[in-house]
Amino acid sequence: MLIEGSDKNNKSTNVEVKNGQMAVITASPFNRAAINGDAYSWAAVSAAGVGAGDTLLMVRNLSPNRLLVINRFYVYSDVPTALDVHLQTNSTAFSAGGAGTAVVGVNLNTTSNKVADAGGYSDDDSVTQGSIILTLHSNEAAATQFSIDFPTDDTIVLGTNGCIGIDAVADAAAFECSIVGYFIDA
């Protein structure tokens, strides 16, 4: 017998009873999405550098009927800089001759053949910055660079044409940036 439900944190909980033994299995929404082939990562790495104010990485939800939940992002810059995380809704962000490089979402379930219904772009200097929701600082001194791995607790949700971008405030000679998210029905 299998009983399915959710706890107060929206984690699915399955109770399975076999041969008189009970097992409780709990999975987060992100785990469920990964198992179903609906979780993706967009990653940009560059040694060529970016100018002050350039977008390290931007991801736009292209799905007309699914929401893109941002689970976490990771950023590294080789110089001390503020990093602006911003949101906007824009149907043409980075779509026509942008100065950067296209980034394709990688499905986190290697057995799935689903493709992300979202576009990504990196190292772009022609993206208009949206509403800043968070400013992070990569490091305090040039000799002590460190990366930022920021879990969002699934609090950023992008509707159709919703975008999340991460911009470097200072010039950087090298950077790494990843945005991880998953799709749910609207």
Cα within 13 Å of Cα(17), Cβ side? 4
pLDDT at 79: 80
* Per-residue pLDDT, 126: 67
Q: Say what the pLDDT of residue 127 is.
A: 73
* E strand intervals along the chain: 2-6, 12-18, 21-27, 39-46, 55-61, 66-77, 82-89, 101-103, 106-107, 118-124, 131-137, 148-158, 162-168, 175-185
Per-position pLDDT tens, the chain of length 186? 555 665 555 555 666 666 777 666 678 999 999 999 999 999 998 867 777 878 889 999 999 999 999 999 999 888 888 889 999 988 776 655 556 788 999 999 999 999 999 989 887 776 778 899 999 887 766 666 678 889 999 999 999 999 999 988 888 778 889 999 999 999
Of the candidates 149, 112, 154, 150, the residue with the CA atom closest to the CA atom of residue 28: 154
Residues in the chain: 186
Give CA–CA dist 168/75, Å, rounded. 10
